[in-house]
């Protein structure tokens, strides 16, 4: 099958999943599109928001919609790395150690309130998220594919939370929030859920094989030299900005390309446009940046820095980005 046909299938698959998610998550289309972009990109997503806005329901709905296996880890201060990855237990009958896999051995993993666990427990996910594998007792085990982590995080101002280290933040392709619903949307939520929760009747509309096929297809989306240079101009600007101590990493560059390819495919295009980069730059880059003390004292945020950079880096013309 040709690349264009594969991309059309990826777009149709994304539309199918989006429509299914909207049966459960109301009025948050842009957030749902971002989650599907992350899934198709082969990355992971960090959702930071206050409790009760639907972060857990979003992860469960995605697992049901895609027909993928699902596991949830509730991160707490006493969580141990073995509670995530699994442990080897001695079997007296066989006189040998037997590995019992942890919840990380799934396709869609909800890491709930990830910043309530200690840094040691948080770090247990690093290898899984970066390399799709887990090493326990000097044995490396592959994780199922697709492997997609949706981590939720309470705002850093909350009590009893540990800030995620830079290496952990860099493993997340995308960072977003859900936010409170508008009044009219919340009214429809109350009305709809008075009898039953819509997730109880949600059915799969895709398979894990289709997800893997879409992940392969989006890599064929054309990225012109001018778009690559535009992206690299943005990345370089984060590394040289006076308000930043730490700019975006090469992993961020690759992640932004992958996310832009997925976004283009979901919109029915076989090429990345500058607008794809602009649309996703904040979600891909902001959480990876470290502000200078002076910037923090001046109430400058990472998103403000990204907006300034996007305003100052010239985007290529449309004719320069289309595959001829």
Alpha helices by DSSP H, 118-182: 119-122, 126-131, 166-169
Whether the per-residue pLDDT at 1 is higher than 50: the answer is no
CATH number of 1-220: 3.40.50.300
pLDDT band at 156 (very low <50, low <70, confident <90, very high): low
Residues 159-180: pLDDT tens digits?
567 777 788 888 899 999 887 8
Residues with Cβ within 8 Å of residue 275, at least 6 apart in sequence: none
User: What backbone phi and psi angles, to 5 degrees, belong to 179?
Assistant: 80, 160
Instruction: Quickly name the fold that domain 221-324 has.
Output: Helicase, Ruva Protein; domain 3 (1.10.8)
The separation between CA 135 and the C-alpha centre of its own chain, rounded to angstroms, equals 23
What average pLDDT does the segment 86-115 reach?
A: 87
Residue ranges per structural domain of the chain: 1-220, 221-324
The span from the CA of 69 to the CA of 105, in Å, is: 9
Residues 210-254: pLDDT tens digits?
999 999 999 999 999 999 999 999 999 999 999 998 889 999 999
The separation between CA 10 and the C-alpha centre of its own chain, rounded to angstroms, equals 18
Q: Which residue has the higher pLDDT, 265 or 49?
A: 265
> Tokens 């919840």 appear where?
103
* Secondary-structure percent of the chain, ordered helix, strand, coil, rounded to 5: 50, 15, 35
pLDDT band at 322 (very low <50, low <70, confident <90, very high): low
Residue pair 27/182 in contact (Cβ under 8 Å)? The answer is yes
SS3 state of residue 89: strand
The span from the CA of 184 to the CA of 178, in Å, is: 16
pLDDT for residue 165? 77
pLDDT band at 183 (very low <50, low <70, confident <90, very high): confident
């Amino acid at each position: 099958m040709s690349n264009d046909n594969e991309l059309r299938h990826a777009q149709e698959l994304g539309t199918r999943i989006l429509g299914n998610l909207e049966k459960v998550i109301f009025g948050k289309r842009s957030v749902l599109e971002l989650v599907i972009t992350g899934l198709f990109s082969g990355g992971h997503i960090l959702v930071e928001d206050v409790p009760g806005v639907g972060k857990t329901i979003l992860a469960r709905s995605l697992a049901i919609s895609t027909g993928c296996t699902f596991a949830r880890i509730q991160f707490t201060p006493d969580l141990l790395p073995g509670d995530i990855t699994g442990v080897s237990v001695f079997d007296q009958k066989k006189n040998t150690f037997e590995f019992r896999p942890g919840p990380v051995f799934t396709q869609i993993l909800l890491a709930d309130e990830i910043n309530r666990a200690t840094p040691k427990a948080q770090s247990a996910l690093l290898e899984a998220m970066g390399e799709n594998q887990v090493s326990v007792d000097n044995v490396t085990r592959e994780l199922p594919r697709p492997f997609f982590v949706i981590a939720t995080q309470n705002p850093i101002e909350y009590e009893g939370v540990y800030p995620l280290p830079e290496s952990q933040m860099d493993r997340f392709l995308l960072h977003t929030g859900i936010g409170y619903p508008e009044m009219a949307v919340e009214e429809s939520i109350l009305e709809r859920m008075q009898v039953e929760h819509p997730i109880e009747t949600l059915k799969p509309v895709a398979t894990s094989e289709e997800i893997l096929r879409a992940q392969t297809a989006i890599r064929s989306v054309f990225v012109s030299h001018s778009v690559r240079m535009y992206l690299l101009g943005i990345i370089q600007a984060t590394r040289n900005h006076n308000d930043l101590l730490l700019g975006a990493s090469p992993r961020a560059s690759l992640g932004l390309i992958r996310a832009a390819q997925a976004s283009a495919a979901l919109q029915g295009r076989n090429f990345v446009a500058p607008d794809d980069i602009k649309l996703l730059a904040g979600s891909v880059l902001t959480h990876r940046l470290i502000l200078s003390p002076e910037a923090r004292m001046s109430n400058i945020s990472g998103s403000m820095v990204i907006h300034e950079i996007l305003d100052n880096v010239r985007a290529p013309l449309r004719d320069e980005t289309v595959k001829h």
